[in-house]
Amino acid sequence: MKNNKFTVGVLTSGGDAPGMNAAIRAVVRTALANNMNVIGVKHGYEGLIKGDFDDLDARSVGGILQRGGTILLTSRSKEFMESAGQREAIRKMNEAGMDALVVIGGEGSMNGANALSKQGIKVIGLPGSIDNDIWGTNLAIGTDTAMNTIMEAVDKLRDTASSHQRAFLIETMGRNSGYLAVMTGIACGAEMVLIPEVPCTAEEVVTAVENAYKRGKTHAIIINAEGSALRTTDIAAKIDEKDVGFSTRMTILGHIQRGGSPSAYDRLLASRMGVKAVEALVEGIHGVMTGLKGKGIDFIPLADVISNKRKINMEYYHMAKVLAR
Ligand code: F6P
């Protein structure tokens, strides 16, 4: 305990997500307002193991609210998944006088947070992932911005698709979850959405494209989630203009979806969750993740977060289909 003050560490882990900086800022400034010290941990759990720490004050987090990425840097640490790595991390935390840790990240990061919590460390998790695949929160930090990035890209692609009467295969991120694909499919009026949760064949895609042409559409937009059963390149190879009417192009959006300035929604969500995380510690609550429930932020036990799998709301998948007529 530095200067007899309660000391909280903060780290970001896993894939970065827009709004992580807003969350760091909220944690730091709320902690300072509650007379705590704050230590920034670099490179996620890797930095926790190595003791790669920096003291943070109010100015350290100035000018970052609107920036994508994470000023603390991030990583996916294999070493931390082993108990030896976790023991070393706890040793480094104790050496630095860290009384609690705030972990901002995705599913894997919440797993790590729970592992520390089980070993007696006071931990609070904040869900940060563009995929929105974390159980216990309606929305994770970064998802809204990613959806807006995808929407802007698809709108632009539709302009050129319509002008040339083409089918466009557009691949979104989402290793295990079709959330981004389904929601942007609705928001962008896609003719078809392919997601990991629903099996699909290339023949079904060819038929959907052909039907869109026959219905007099000027384009066909197919959104394929990265984790779906079909590779975008494989589908493209199966679509022949002679059969379906449209010529075909494909665009893999890739990591552009993870970058960029966070939306107003993500800045607010991240700020609210950052504030709540420190408030939890003040109240003696830990071993939980902040989760958006209805309009409020709840505390969800980390053990529940990691033992449940978030499922996609199939209502939205069917809605995307109905609206594609
Ligand atoms: O952060 C989640 C995610 O963006 C997934 O959708 C994607 O599969 C993965 O990260 C990519 O990870 P990396 O940046 O390590 O290639």
Nearest to 66 by CA among 262, 230, 227, 258: 262
Give the CA dihedral 276, 278, 281, 282, nearest 10 degrees: -100
3-state SS assignment for residue 289: strand
Q: What is the pLDDT at residue 212?
A: 94
> What is the bridge-based pairing of β-strands 100-105 and 7-13?
parallel
**Residue 127, SS3 per DSSP:** strand
* CB of 16 shorter than 6 A to ligand 1: no
Supply the pLDDT for residue 2: 57
Pocket test for ligand 1, best of 77, 145, 175 (most atoms within 8 A of CB): 175
What spacing in Å lies between the alpha carbon of 142 and ligand 1's midpoint? 13
pLDDT digit string, tens, across residues 255-264 = 999 999 999 9
Residue 42 has pLDDT above 80, yes or no: yes
Q: How far apart are CA 160 and CA 293, in angstroms?
A: 39
Pocket flag, ligand 1, residue 173 (CB < 6 Å): yes
Average pLDDT rounded to a whole number, residues 40-60: 98
Whether residue 130 has its Cβ less than 6 Å from ligand 1: yes
Nearest to 13 by CA among 58, 67, 49: 49
- pLDDT for 280 beyond 60: yes
> Residue 37: is its pLDDT beyond 70?
yes
The rounded Å distance from CA 107 to ligand 1 centre is 12
Distances (CA, A) of 78 to 101, 108, 121, 148, 155: 19, 11, 20, 32, 39
218-239 pLDDT, tens digit each: 999 999 999 999 999 999 999 9
What value does the mean pLDDT take over residues 184-196?
98
pLDDT recorded at residue 4: 86
CB of 129 closer than 6 angstroms to any ligand 1 atom = yes
- CB of 178 closer than 6 A to ligand 1? no
Segment 308-317, tens digit of pLDDT: 999 999 999 9
Examine the pLDDT at 34 and tell me if it is beyond 60: yes
Instruction: Reply yes or no on whether the pLDDT at 184 is more than 80.
Output: yes
**174: region left, alpha or beta (phi > 0 left; psi from -120 to 50 alpha):** left
Q: Which tens digit of pLDDT belongs to each residue from 214-223?
A: 999 999 999 9
Other CB atoms within 10 A of residue 90 CB: 18
Domains of the chain: 2-142+262-307 (3.40.50.450), 145-258 (3.40.50.460)
Measured in degrees and rounded to the nearest 5, phi and psi for residue 102 equal -105, 125
According to the model, what pLDDT value does residue 21 have? 98
76 pLDDT higher than 90: yes
Give the whole-angstrom CA distance, residue 81 versus residue 92.
Answer: 16
Percent of the chain clearing pLDDT 90 (strictly above): 97
247 CA from centroid of ligand 1 (Å): 30
Q: Which of 99, 131, 133, 144 is the catalytic position?
A: 131
Cβ–ligand 1 distance for 133 under 6 Å, the answer: no
Dihedral sign computed on CA atoms, order 252, 254, 260, 264: positive
Which residues face 250 on adjacent strands? 169
Residue with tokens 């042409």: 213
Per the annotation, the verdict on 131 as an active-site residue is: yes
Average pLDDT over residues 22-33: 98
Q: Whose CA is nearest to atom 14 of ligand 1?
A: 15
Q: Which alpha helices (DSSP H) does 51-178 contain, by range?
A: 83-96, 107-118, 143-164
For the purposes of burial, counting CB atoms within 10 Å of the CB of 132, is it exposed (0-12), middle (13-18) or buried (19 or more)?
buried
* Helix %, strand %, coil % of the chain (to 5): 45, 20, 35
Q: How confident is the model over 184-206, as a mean pLDDT?
A: 97
Report the chain's mean pLDDT, rounded to a whole number: 97
pLDDT at 155 over 70: yes
Whether pTM > 0.95 for this model: the answer is: yes
| DSSP-assigned letter for residue 90 | H
pLDDT at 1 over 60: no
For residue 31, give the nearest of 43, 19, 39 by alpha carbon. Answer: 39
Element holding 13 (H helix, E strand): strand 7-13
